[in-house]
Amino acid sequence: MSKAFTRETDQDEDDEIEAGPALPPGTKNYITRTGFNALRDELDQLVKVERPRIVETVAWAASNGDRSENGDYIYGKKRLREIDRRVRFLIKRLEIAEVVDPADREDSDQVFFGATVSFRAWQDRQAGPEETFQIVGVDEADASAHRISWISPIGRALLKARIGDMVRFHSPAGERDLEITDIVYR
């Protein structure tokens, strides 16, 4: 048989591991209200808009006849598998999500989930510029938007620290010391 008519792998594409940040075993999936709403909106977009549009394209492509060389059909089916995989992932994450609204917590001088923390990094006895990050769930972490996961090394180091505390954590660049300057819940 010609190699052109065989699959390159024996693994079915639907058996691929679902993409998304992993939660440590036994931990809860804490998430802010904003993050929960974003996941729910993404799920609604996929189920109500994108999937029906792709199904329509695949149905049209299938009606054209020969499916073996029909790019719209082949890539449409692949995209449907990707959407279905993401939908399953989102449903599972939303089912186990424990929503924590930082605005409901009274301001405290201690860092808990949802806190917006300002700190200065210290290196060679010199303080760097002040940085501010919010401690959020794994599904909503985005360093470029100043949101870090509560299970990240820096997130774990900051949890339960108080204003004025120095915390140490291991980063890819080595050990770093941070001085907590402010904690706000919003």
Domain span including residue 36: 28-99
- Does residue 116 sit in the same domain as residue 150? yes
70-106 burial: b if 16+ Cβ within 10 Å, else e: beebeebbebbeebebbbebbeebbeebeebebeeee
Instruction: Show the tokens assigned to 135.
Output: 């401690």
Name the β-bridge partners of 3: none
- 106 in a domain, yes or no? yes
Query: What's residue 20's pLDDT?
Result: 67
Q: Is residue 1 part of a domain?
A: no
Q: Which helix (H) or strand (E) holds 181?
A: strand 174-184
Residue scoring higher pLDDT (135 or 71): 135
pLDDT grade for 15, boundaries at 50, 70 and 90: very low
User: Are 107 and 180 in a shared domain?
Assistant: yes
What would the 3-class secondary structure string for 86-108 be?
A: HHHHHHHHHHHEEECCHHHCCCC
Question: How many folded domains does the chain comprise?
Answer: 2
Decide: 152 and 140 in contact? Cβ < 8 Å.
no
Q: Which of 87, 19, 14, 17 is nearest to 51 (CA)?
A: 87
pLDDT of residue 32: 94
The reply to whether 92 and 150 lie within a common domain is no
54-108, pLDDT tens digit by residue? Answer: 999 999 888 887 777 788 888 999 999 999 999 999 999 999 999 998 888 877 7
State percent of the chain over pLDDT 90. Answer: 60
